[in-house]
Amino acid sequence: MENTEKPQPRRAVVAAAVGFAAVAAYAIVGALQILVWNPLAAVPGVTLGKIRAEMARADESLTANWVLAWGAIGIVLATVVLLVAIVRMNSRVGPVVAAYLVLLVFAAPGHFFVGFRPGMSLADTFLISGEDHAPWGMALYVVSAASLLALIVLIIRAGRSATARAVRHG
């Protein structure tokens, strides 16, 4: 299956810049959701400092290092794709977009994984449910689901295009 999409370095770099921004925003919003917004929504009227102090007294934690590592890994991977698109002067737009969509798709299970322990720590400390109390976690999952849909469409279109080319060149 030969890809005959013409290289468009400028468009590929623009796509990479947009993709990088999307992944970086996801990582930042995800970290803020787990470490700031969700605790504040879970325990309304209490400052983040008091929430953390109460959690420490209960021998619980928001496990910030894991959350920040998750966000940093996403940003590093997004940076690698951006740098490859910039350095390679023959990058095609489709694979660049696909790479960022894959990162956004896999960000959701990563976010769930690193957010599980802090959510349970909040639940154990304040005797509440461990679910997201702030809306941004669900918003991130919607972004990941939309990215999965877009990736599927991209793959189907690439397959149909390759089939049409093969039929033409018979």
Do the domain assignments include residue 2? Answer: no
Q: Work out the pLDDT band at 5, boundaries 50, 70, 90.
A: low
Is residue 48 over pLDDT 70? yes
Q: By the 8 A CB rule, do 31 and 75 touch? A: no
Examine residue 119 and state whether it is found in any structural domain, yes or no: yes
Instruction: Look at 33-37, 56-60, 85-89 and tell me which has the smallest mean pLDDT.
Output: 85-89
Q: Is the pLDDT assigned to residue 7 strictly greater than 80? A: no
**Contact status, residue 23 vs residue 74, Cβ threshold 8 Å:** yes
Q: Is position 1 within any domain?
A: no
Give the range of the structural domain holding residue 114, as residue numbers without chain letter.
9-169
What pTM was computed for the model?
0.90
Task: Of 146, 162, 163, give the one whose Cα is nearest residue 94.
Answer: 162
The verdict on residue 90 lying in a domain is yes
Which one is predicted more confidently, 9 or 18?
18
Q: Residue 96 domain-assigned?
A: yes
The domain tally of the chain equals 1
pLDDT in tens, 114-164: 999 999 999 999 999 989 999 999 999 999 999 999 999 999 998 887 777
CB contact burial 113-127 (16+ within 10 A = b; e otherwise):
ebbebbbebbeebbe
Residue 126 lies in a domain: yes
Residue 3 belongs to some domain of the structure: no
CA distance 121 to 139: 22
Is residue 68's pLDDT more than 80? Answer: yes
Q: Is residue 42 part of a domain?
A: yes
